Amino acid sequence: MIKAVVVDMDGTFLNSKHDYNREWFKEIYQKLSKQNIRFVVASGNQYAQLKSFFPESHENISFIAENGALIFEQNTLIREHHFEIDLVDQIITYLKDTHPDVDMILCGIASSYIEKNTSERFKSIAQTYYHKLQEVDHLQNFCEDKYVKFALSVPVSQTEQIQDSLQTYFGHQIVAVSSGHGSVDIIIPGKHKADGLSFLATKWGISPEDIVAFGDGNNDVEMLQYVGHSYAMENGSSLVKEASKNLAPSNDESGVLQVIEKYL
């Protein structure tokens, strides 16, 4: 019996217009609630942005944000992990010295941060994904927050090369993972979506076998391997499809809602 539904957002629950069929979801969410099936959002994105997609129901939805570093229930942060500040400074220095064409957002618990001299194009993109975003003179030595993730915009053709170079240089101190479309996230080792979901499942007394999860990007792989009912989106990466037991219709076909409705 299904006891929880877990969805990634970009490329999975959200369509290419960065939205979803809200009326259909409302009907499905009501059915989920009546059957005491939990709905969980698991994303690499910021909590403030994620909950904005669910104005009527966010208080009853659990959020695994920033690729598992932060977990929220009922608008309350119930678990957090962050990088040591010295490592944050080392990562910024390395990126500026070796990949000066990479744009970066430093993601904290209270807000996310971007340098003032960043291109207006990237600032515009960043504002779409980060509802709490501050411009600062320099990211280094900026210690007003605890930092949970780096979000990088890289040349698409260099995605794997930059990801590999980061992993090789910093080793076990970080995990560099591509979420597709020229994006690379630097996350805390072991604090991925599956780790966050395992924390919630233990808290709720739910078995992984009773969870259905959906994803499209490489940062969803651990989560899909963890659950009993895993779905790669038709538009997902080859790695995600290899890690999943099932295939869902694409995000532009409301594939997640199609599959959930069949379960219900």
Length of the chain (residues): 264
Residues 153 and 170 both lie in one domain: yes
Q: Hunting for tokens 């599959």 — which residue is that?
A: 259
- Choose one of 125, 155, 187: the last residue of a domain: 187
Residues 115 and 163 both lie in one domain: yes
What is the domain count for the chain? 2
Instruction: Please answer whether residues 153 and 102 qualify as being in contact, where contact means their C-beta atoms are separated by less than 8 angstroms.
Output: yes
Active-site position among 8, 10, 103, 195: 8
Instruction: Please answer whether residues 142 and 114 qualify as being in contact, where contact means their C-beta atoms are separated by less than 8 angstroms.
Output: no
Provide the CB-side half-sphere exposure for 32 (13 A, CA).
26
Among positive and negative, which fits the CA dihedral 180, 181, 182, 185?
negative
pLDDT above 70 (res 142)? no
Residues 106 and 171 both lie in one domain: yes
Q: What is the CATH number of the domain that holds 203?
A: 3.40.50.1000
The pLDDT of residue 129: 85
Quick one: pLDDT band at residue 128, thresholds 50, 70, 90? Answer: confident
What does 162-224 look like in DSSP terms, one character per residue? HHHHHHHHHGGG-EEEEEETTEEEEE-TT-SHHHHHHHHHHHHT--GGGEEEEE-SGGGHHHH
Residues 14 and 63 both lie in one domain: yes
Quick one: pLDDT band at residue 178, thresholds 50, 70, 90? Answer: confident
Residues 160 and 231 both lie in one domain: no
Any idea which of 29-38, 47-56, 140-149, 150-159 has the lowest mean pLDDT? 140-149
Quick one: pLDDT band at residue 168, thresholds 50, 70, 90? Answer: very high
The pLDDT of residue 143: 67
Residues 93 and 177 both lie in one domain: yes
* Cα separation, 225 vs 231, whole angstroms: 10
Quick one: pLDDT band at residue 183, thresholds 50, 70, 90? Answer: confident
Any idea which of 144-158, 199-213, 250-264 has the lowest mean pLDDT? 144-158
Residues 24 and 144 both lie in one domain: no
The pLDDT of residue 5: 98
**Model's pTM, two decimal places?**
0.89
To the nearest whole number, what is the mean pLDDT of the chain?
94
Q: For the sheet with 147-153, list strands across it.
A: 133-136, 112-115, 103-108, 147-153, 183-187, 175-180
Instruction: Please answer whether residues 110 and 43 qualify as being in contact, where contact means their C-beta atoms are separated by less than 8 angstroms.
Output: no
Residues 196 and 65 both lie in one domain: yes
Residues 95 and 183 both lie in one domain: yes
Residues 46 and 140 both lie in one domain: no
Q: Which domain holds residue 198?
A: 4-80+191-263
Q: For the sheet with 76-80, list strands across it.
A: 76-80, 70-73, 62-65, 38-42, 4-7, 211-215, 229-233, 246-248
Residues 102 and 182 both lie in one domain: yes
What does DSSP assign to residue 21? -
Copy the structure tokens of residue 187: 């996350």
Residues 167 and 216 both lie in one domain: no
Instruction: Please answer whether residues 167 and 174 qualify as being in contact, where contact means their C-beta atoms are separated by less than 8 angstroms.
Output: yes
Q: What is the CATH number of the domain that holds 121?
A: 3.30.1240.10
- Choose one of 128, 155, 187: the last residue of a domain: 187
- Choose one of 162, 187, 212: the last residue of a domain: 187
8 catalytic per annotation: yes
